[in-house]
Homo-oligomer: A and B are copies of this chain.
Amino acid sequence: MTTSNAIKKVLIIFAHPDRRSLNGSLLDATVKRLESQGREVKVSDLYGMNWKSEITEDDFPETHEKGTRLKVVSESLNAFQHHKLTPDVVAEQEKLKWADLVIFQFPLWWGTVPAILKGWVERVFSAGLAYALPERYGNGTFAGKKGMLMVTAGGEKIHFSATGILGPIDDILFPIQRGMLFYTGMSVLPPFITYSANYIPDEEFGPILERLYDHLQALDSLKPIPFRKQAEDYDPKTRQLKKEIVEASNEKGFSLHIRKD
């Protein structure tokens, strides 16, 4: 807790409709433990806040002329630059700026984040804030911050393996971990995943908590997932992986975009 890179401020984006769920219990345990470690914690409980999931022209009330064509990316950039985003979005962006670590906590529904969390990303990760070409994938406004997923999944762990019916979990989470978090410049800590989450008997909750506490205890020393950085590993002109990287690798698919160190 005493090194200069220690995580002091944690923002949890919580996306489950019921605080009495397994996700809710894990949230409570996480907040308590993080605070007992001397960290500050803020929680955005998206369902509890009645978060608006859809990006619409109402997101740009002062900069978009109602009834004219809505170009989402440029509207988002324009409203952000002129400080004209809506108060709910601005409040989330302020929390993001405050945080050292941003946790997305959610049940894995249909292989990705719940709609309400997807809508949080669409509305809060404004152009100009969360991304500004060409500085992406490891660089950007959020460089220096950390991101992490806390996921519950109905499927069994073994079914999320490379040969399992549900597909490898690293690839399933890749579009979220790399495409949403790393994209903005955050480094991404290994996720905390709870499998078989629809059928957890009471006596198995203790071991899950133990594992959670171990994860949180190690928070400051967890090594980020070594996603390849745009500024280092891709040709700046073609935005393709550098030839020597491709030639030296046996990987295919998403794995090619992760270092082996």
Question: Which residues of A does B touch, CB under 8 Å?
Answer: 17-18, 20-21, 47, 53-57, 69-73, 107, 109-116, 118-119, 121-122, 125, 136-137, 154, 158-159, 161-165, 167-168, 171-172, 174-176, 178-180, 198, 230, 234, 238-241, 246, 251-257
Q: List 23 A-B contacts (CB under 8 A).
A: A21-B69, A21-B70, A21-B71, A53-B119, A54-B114, A110-B121, A111-B180, A112-B112, A114-B122, A115-B115, A115-B116, A115-B118, A136-B165, A137-B165, A158-B238, A159-B239, A161-B240, A162-B252, A165-B234, A165-B239, A171-B174, A171-B254, A253-B255
In whole Å, how far is A237's beta carbon from the nearest beta carbon of chain B?
A: 11
In the complex, the count of this chain's copies comes to 2
B110 touches A179 (CB 8 A): yes
What residues on B are CB-neighbors of A255 within 8 Å? 252-253
Nearest B residue (CB) for A179 = B111
Q: What's the nearest-Cβ distance from chain B to residue A18, in Å?
A: 4
The CA of A53 and the CA of B50, in the complex, are separated in Å by: 11
Is the CB–CB distance between B20 and A256 below 8 Å? no
For A73, list chain B residues within 8 Å (CB): 154, 198
